[in-house]
Amino acid sequence: MIMMKNSKFLINAGIGFTILIVIWQFIAEVGGYESALFPPPSKVWEGILTLISDGTLLTHLQVSLSRFITGYLSAVIVAIALGLILGRIPLLWGVIDPIVQVLRPVSPIAWSPFIVLWFGIGDIPAIVIIFIAAFFPVLLSTVSAVRKVENTYIKVAQNFGIKKLELLRKIILPAVFPYIANGLHIAVGTAWIFLVSGEMVGSQSGLGYLIVDARNSMRLDLVMAGIIFIGIAGLILDKLVGLFESWINRIWGRQSA
Amino acid sequence: MIMMKNSKFLINAGIGFTILIVIWQFIAEVGGYESALFPPPSKVWEGILTLISDGTLLTHLQVSLSRFITGYLSAVIVAIALGLILGRIPLLWGVIDPIVQVLRPVSPIAWSPFIVLWFGIGDIPAIVIIFIAAFFPVLLSTVSAVRKVENTYIKVAQNFGIKKLELLRKIILPAVFPYIANGLHIAVGTAWIFLVSGEMVGSQSGLGYLIVDARNSMRLDLVMAGIIFIGIAGLILDKLVGLFESWINRIWGRQSA
Amino acid sequence: NGSEEEKSGGNEKRTIKIGYLPITHAVPLFVEKELGKYENFDLELIKFGSWTELSDALNTGRIDGASMLITLAMKAKEQGIDVNAVALGHRDGNVVVVSKDISNVADLKGKSFAIPHKFSTQNVLLYQLLKQNGLKYEDVNVVELPPAEMPAALSEGRISGYVVAEPFGAVSVSLEKGKVLYQDKDIWENSIDCSLVLRSEFIEKEKELAQEFVNYYIEAGHFAEQKDAQVKDMLLNYMKVDQNVLDLSLEWISYDDLKINREDYEELASNLVEMGLFESPPAYEDFVDHSLIEKAK
Amino acid sequence: MVLEQPAMIQVRQVSKNYKKNNQDIQVLKDITFTVQKGEIISILGESGCGKSTLLNIIGGFEKATGGDVLLDGSKVNEPNRKCIMLFQNYGLLPWRTVLKNVELGLEKNIKNRKERKERALNYIQLVGLSGKENMFPHELSGGMQQRVGIARALAIQPELILLDEPFAALDTFNRYYLQNELLRIQEQEKTTMILVTHDIDEAIYLSDRIFIMHQNPGRIHREIKIHLTKPRDRSDGDFQHYRNIIFKEFHFNRPGNLLEFNI
Amino acid sequence: MVLEQPAMIQVRQVSKNYKKNNQDIQVLKDITFTVQKGEIISILGESGCGKSTLLNIIGGFEKATGGDVLLDGSKVNEPNRKCIMLFQNYGLLPWRTVLKNVELGLEKNIKNRKERKERALNYIQLVGLSGKENMFPHELSGGMQQRVGIARALAIQPELILLDEPFAALDTFNRYYLQNELLRIQEQEKTTMILVTHDIDEAIYLSDRIFIMHQNPGRIHREIKIHLTKPRDRSDGDFQHYRNIIFKEFHFNRPGNLLEFNI
Ligand SMILES: Nc1ncnc2c1ncn2[C@@H]1O[C@H](COP(=O)(O)OP(=O)(O)OP(=O)(O)O)[C@@H](O)[C@H]1O
Ligand SMILES: Nc1ncnc2c1ncn2[C@@H]1O[C@H](COP(=O)(O)OP(=O)(O)OP(=O)(O)O)[C@@H](O)[C@H]1O
Ligand SMILES: [Mg+2]
Ligand SMILES: [Mg+2]
């Protein structure tokens, strides 16, 4: 069943990308762009092969992934824990909410002078930026889910004398998980998007750096190759979150959508 | 009722920001940072006043807002229209979906070499970046909402002989709106976040430019002031989308949440 | 990467961290690192994506120094950050590149023209160029662009010209999308642009290391001036460009005299004030520290 | 029920299979019956026996695997305006007011706004909702919502109305009120109705004939004609007589042996 | 029902007001009754008359505006394990299996896993769900889900079970099965029960006494004692007698004058 679904997805993806590449080639030819300025598919393909074969890709990918995982996981854990608590204390959330709402629309990149000040250059700023990007979506979806937890569950818990931490762990967390999962997906997207930006801040490695460096070297074929890698890796990360989600749902007995 | 809710929000916001400013002042003093590197609240406050009184803020804010509105509105309209159609044609969506999934995790900034190539400098690149940022969340939420439209509505439409465009307009669009609204909120956030980045690509104006320029002039107090403006403006834009949402919901008879 | 193990003390060698952008203006740094003659320290070159990020890192003390736009360092100094320029990165090496349909400066009137940064020598060069040809600065629509985007913008006609560090000028020329209108020395003899800037605390507290570092830097400058195959090989480890673009770029630049002369500096400073970019640029004595380069001779 | 008159609905040998995990499951098997113009027919059966599936096939919303359905002698292939379905969850469009909901089916054929509104208001009055035409569905109780559904169906004057457990979501009291209403309206409009329900009282109270369905596969087990004049009295002895017949059919009067049932 | 024995539940002069748009709305007014140990009591009334509110006050989930509730002579202030509520939508935790749901109330007091599991399985067997203990709620039919709810409530051996329209979401057939089940279990466990319903048959079939509630404000209008031995026969003549009494109470036997009711 899952196999079938996957093979169908692959066929569709194949058709989709073939069409895309044809259009791309067409634009490159008809537009008459200099190939240094708008590389045709063939050149990008060569670029991809070079990046793979000389190991550049693997190095940068590893670095990016390990930063991403660190930043994302810590953001998710902190945000869920905070969200569970804040969601149950409306008065405190009332005070914190306006701050969050003002901070959230600010691009993590805007903070970069301060991030450099506090966290220096290298891995940490990129991780911090991913943290910021992932933190708010998860926090907000957790808080709003906690505040909407079906009243029946709370009543059942009261009825059986389940309180405080036990209430959070046994009732609230599993009850809100399906709604948090949505936040997790949004966060994985946003955080991955900001990786590129994060790795522009004085990083010496990572996919974002790969792109910036290629751009500064006027190698737009490599920029395009980097974009493709980022896209694919982002897609895979999203699918991984999806797998985690359906794993939890299986343990916690939800029907898969 | 709404008045009461707003005044409560304002009181909470007041408390929240007071605490925030106290912490900020505390860090600035205890951390012993150079005020050029980490400006204390008082200095930022001066900066804010200067920006307001010399009209800089107003100019840049206007530019940013007009770009934002152009980019956001066109993204929303295109994405909803496309989403309504694609959601009803599962075969086509099957082919497009993989492409979207690979493109979505790529930061709009990564595209900037190509954006400059195609759209030049000035307003358009910033608008294009906002467009890209807003487009995907709305498209995806529309398609997924269309595919989940309650079957009863479709049956009712069939029963009364409502088909094609009429079906989209009279049944699908109003049925999915509450779910699209969620996508609109996410999009307003993402797009506004990318405004900063967008306005770094060859723009000579706008809030993003204000920040970059202040940063280039090493006026971190103005950077912080810019961050505050961006945050507040982002918050207001989000509330505006919320107002639009509840206006539509009132017209279309939904209970407000 | 690896900004971590900072002060491991003991017998460990001190690692000096120097920031750079992949441009021909930082060539002495690349050569110094490649020659690797220094003994009492390790040299780590840290590549940045833009001037802004580089100066953030320098200002907050995350790196000990950088090869950077001298004007940015002056700005930092003006804001109270303790840095000193100790040597130039290069002499000359900026060219004004314009599209094919521009034949003289007057043609630029009303057109868009790109510079890499508001606080840059390139901006001053543009200002002077316009002034010398009877135009006002406002007659041209000046835009700040990331250097890497300039050739594309020129090629698509989004801008009519640009002035920027190399190799980005040579790219347009070799793609035949643009031509050289002026070299910088035709506009302003002895313009000063990118410099080696060090944090003052580094110079003061680790005088000997700083001295050794600058000694080899100057030596590297002389070595680079040969511009032979060996030098080009070294550069290609830091900047990925086509051979012919590199050749062209190197034609326009020299590395053998890296002193920051007072009169040149003061001309720069007065221009900056005139352009309204600075109120009180740091005085030559405060900002330029020639003690190191003098001893290096 | 004169034989010469052709039946309004003919259900002929209808069967339906679903694929589930690559297995064919037969949900309906050889269902055959006819309904005359003006009749009210109930289909009574346990949950999952295939009542909704059968109704969907009659309405053209689903295709039968075998057999066919004739409406006025012509084959039903897709949903059509001659035969309107009423849903358990009312099927109202929540973004339209009562008036607009009732107008939904009229927008195609009556272009004149005033005329359309008049016609809609007429039927809103018929179901007793005059004055509520500008309210939205969520502002109405469940009972009122189903009235809107009825008005909307009647407004396009269909030949047949299909009702899928129309009152199951209402409480007993509201259910009683609406059953009475439905009878009153049917008397006036003479619309033919096929009703699916699991409520024994409801079937007896409303129907001319009751088809009892059994499951696995869904089939019609028995037909019961109700020879009582309408309106009927729920506490009347004759009413109890039919209750008893049906209870026996489902083995409900002897509580002891219930656990044998597969629930 | 000996007077000397103190009542298990005493509801004394309970009233409840809600604020709505700055107006006080009285939902309950002066409700007073007592329930003896082992009784099954039904509260019967139309939708919105305040049945759930009353039950919530008895269970300690809401505070009364006036009056109080005594359970075993001591005042009820908050929800407690002596008195378990059963919900219409079953109130099961969807992320726990049947077994884990039933164990929920035991986790506090029985730390020994094996012992806890044994006790839970016992009650799962009592409600006839042996073999289904590792299934998740969504894999069960509505009827089975409510059985799990009953097992969970019984497992902690409460003195009182409150049931808020427990079978309203089931179809008639399943409802009948579960009513029988409930009687069988109650006979065995002797748990006291207060049941809220709008189903007249259900009230007669299950209760020792029925309180009929009227609304605006919610108040107890009449108490009806059911003098029939259990198990009762739904098609029996005596059963019809009580049906008739209650129909009259709600004016249901004369269908003509129904529209006067405010629905
Ligand atoms: N689309 C479908 N795919 C597979 N099986 C289906 C589908 N629709 C219905 N079934 C199965 O067909 C059987 C009959 O379903 P149907 O909805 O007609 O029952 P019903 O009598 O209306 O039940 P209820 O009283 O619960 O509404 C059920 O066992 C159901 O699982
Ligand atoms: N939290 C609340 N705030 C305001 N009014 C309420 C609240 N809860 C209930 N009410 C009102 O109290 C009245 C009684 O509600 P309640 O839920 O007790 O009725 P019920 O008899 O259980 O109805 P149903 O059969 O529909 O469940 C209703 O009119 C309702 O609108
Ligand atoms: Mg059904
Ligand atoms: Mg209730």
Contacts of A253 (CB under 8 A, 6+ apart): E94, E95, E96, E97, E136, E137, E138, E139
**Of residues D81, D138, D139, nearest to B161 (C-beta):** D81
CB contact under 8 A, E95 and A177: yes
pLDDT number for residue D263: 36
pLDDT number for residue A104: 87
Question: Which atom of ligand 2 is closest in space to residue E196's alpha carbon?
Answer: 22
pLDDT digits (tens, 9 = 90+) for C208-232: 888 888 888 888 888 888 888 888 8
pLDDT digits (tens, 9 = 90+) for A211-241: 888 877 778 888 899 999 999 999 999 999 9
Say which range, A171-180, A196-205, C133-142, E41-50, has the weakest mean pLDDT: A196-205
Q: Mean pLDDT, to the nearest integer, of E161-178?
A: 89
The residue whose C-alpha atom lies closest to atom 2 belonging to ligand 1 is D18
pLDDT number for residue B202: 63
Nearest CA in chain E to A174: E95
Residue B158 pLDDT grade (very low, low, confident, very high; cuts 50, 70, 90): very high
Q: Does pLDDT of A92 surpass 90?
A: yes
Interchain contact B36–A (C-beta under 8 A): no
Q: Does pLDDT of A120 surpass 90?
A: no
Rounded to the nearest angstrom, the gap between the alpha carbon of residue E122 and the centroid of all alpha carbons in its chain is 23
Interchain contact C270–B (C-beta under 8 A): no
Interchain contact B130–A (C-beta under 8 A): no
- Give me the torsion for CA of E233, E234, E238, E242, rounded to 10°: 140
pLDDT number for residue D232: 87
The residue whose C-alpha atom lies closest to atom 16 belonging to ligand 2 is E50
H helices of B104-206, in order, are 112-119, 123-147, 151-159, 164-166, 173-198
Interchain contact A212–E (C-beta under 8 A): no
Give me the residues of A, 51-110, that contact C with CB < 8 A: 63
Q: Mean pLDDT, to the nearest integer, of E12-35?
A: 92
Ligand 4 centroid, distance to E242 Cα (angstroms): 24
Burial D230-249 (b: 16+ CB within 10 A, else e): eebebbeeebbebbebbbeb
Give me the residues of C, 142-181, that contact A with CB < 8 A: 146-148, 151-152, 155-156, 167-168, 171, 175, 177
Contacts of D89 (CB under 8 A, 6+ apart): B152, D169
Q: Does pLDDT of A256 surpass 80?
A: no
Percent above pLDDT 70 for chain E: 94
CB contact under 8 A, A216 and C62: no
Residue B21 pLDDT grade (very low, low, confident, very high; cuts 50, 70, 90): very high
Question: Which atom of ligand 2 is closest in space to residue E213's alpha carbon?
Answer: 21
Say which range, A72-86, B133-147, C131-145, E92-106, has the weakest mean pLDDT: C131-145
pLDDT number for residue A108: 82
Which mean pLDDT values do the consecutive 10-residue runs of chain D (263 residues) have? 71 93 90 95 92 95 94 93 92 95 93 95 93 92 92 94 92 88 91 94 95 92 92 84 88 48 38
Question: Which atom of ligand 2 is closest in space to residue E45's alpha carbon?
Answer: 21
Query: Which pair of structure tokens corresponds to residue C223?
Result: 């070595």
Q: Nearest 5 degrees, angle CA D33-CA D36-CA D39? A: 105
Residue A4 pLDDT grade (very low, low, confident, very high; cuts 50, 70, 90): low
Q: Is the CB of E43 under 6 A from ligand 2?
A: no
- Paired with D75 in beta bridges are D70
pLDDT number for residue A200: 65
- What's the ipTM? 0.84
The residue whose C-alpha atom lies closest to atom 7 belonging to ligand 2 is E18
pLDDT number for residue A111: 85
What's the mean per-residue pLDDT of chain C? 85
Q: Cα separations (Å) of B248 from A70, A118, A254, B242, D92?
A: 41, 45, 33, 10, 18
**Residue to substitute from A119, A193, A216, A229, interface B, most B β-carbons within 10 A:** A193
CB contact under 8 A, E95 and A255: no
Q: Does pLDDT of C8 surpass 50?
A: no
Q: Which amino acid is at C104?
A: N
CB contact under 8 A, D96 and B253: yes
pLDDT number for residue D255: 45
Q: Mean pLDDT, to the nearest integer, of E195-222?
A: 93
Interchain contact B218–C (C-beta under 8 A): yes
Task: List all chains that touch chain E, counting a touch as 3 or more CB pairs closer than 8 Å.
Answer: A, D
CB contact under 8 A, D79 and B153: no
Residues with CB under 6 A from ligand 1: D 18, 20, 27, 45, 47-53, 198; E 171
Beta strands in C63-202 (DSSP E): 65-69, 83-88, 91-92, 95-99, 112-115, 141-144, 161-164, 178-183, 194-199
Interchain contact B153–D (C-beta under 8 A): yes
Contacts of E2 (CB under 8 A, 6+ apart): none
The residue whose C-alpha atom lies closest to atom 23 belonging to ligand 2 is E48
Instruction: Give φ, ψ of E162 to 5 degrees.
Output: -105, 130
- Paired with D163 in beta bridges are D86, D195
3-state secondary structure of E43: strand
pLDDT number for residue A83: 95
pLDDT number for residue E254: 45
Q: Does pLDDT of E258 surpass 60?
A: no
Residue C109 pLDDT grade (very low, low, confident, very high; cuts 50, 70, 90): confident
pLDDT number for residue D66: 94
Give the closest-approach CA distance of B71 to chain D in angstroms: 29
CB contact under 8 A, A16 and B98: yes
Q: Which helix (H) or strand (E) holds E213?
A: strand E209-214
Beta strands in E45-199 (DSSP E): 66-71, 74-75, 83-86, 160-164, 192-197
The residue whose C-alpha atom lies closest to atom 17 belonging to ligand 1 is D52
pLDDT number for residue B205: 86
Question: Which atom of ligand 2 is closest in space to residue E51's alpha carbon?
Answer: 21
Q: Are the CB atoms for E122 and E130 separated by under 8 Å?
A: no
What's the mean per-residue pLDDT of chain A? 88
Q: Is the CB of E48 under 6 A from ligand 2?
A: yes
pLDDT number for residue D173: 84
Interchain contact A119–C (C-beta under 8 A): no
Q: Mean pLDDT, to the nearest integer, of A134-143?
A: 92
pLDDT number for residue D5: 66
From chain D, the residues in CB contact with E253 under 8 A are 233-235
pLDDT number for residue A201: 61
Ligand that lies nearest to the alpha carbon of residue D28, given by its number in the listed order = 1
Residue D169: which of D250, D90, D52 has the closest Cα?
A: D90
Percent above pLDDT 70 for chain B: 96
Percent above pLDDT 90 for chain E: 70
Question: Which atom of ligand 1 is closest in space to residue D50's alpha carbon?
Answer: 18
Residue E257 pLDDT grade (very low, low, confident, very high; cuts 50, 70, 90): very low
Composition of chain A by helix, strand, coil, percent to 5:
85, 0, 15
Interchain contact B227–A (C-beta under 8 A): yes
Residue from D52, D55, D57, D219 to probe ligand 1 pocket by mutation (most atoms less than 8 Å from CB): D52
Ion ligand 3 — residues with CB < 5 Å: D 52
Q: Which helix (H) or strand (E) holds D33?
A: strand D23-35
CB contact under 8 A, B160 and D91: no
pLDDT number for residue C290: 83
Nearest CA in chain D to B174: D95
Q: Does pLDDT of E225 surpass 90?
A: yes
Q: Mean pLDDT, to the nearest integer, of C135-162?
A: 85
Question: Which atom of ligand 2 is closest in space to residue E88's alpha carbon?
Answer: 27
Q: Are the CB atoms for A138 and A187 separated by under 8 Å?
A: yes
Give the closest-approach CA distance of C8 to chain B in angstroms: 24
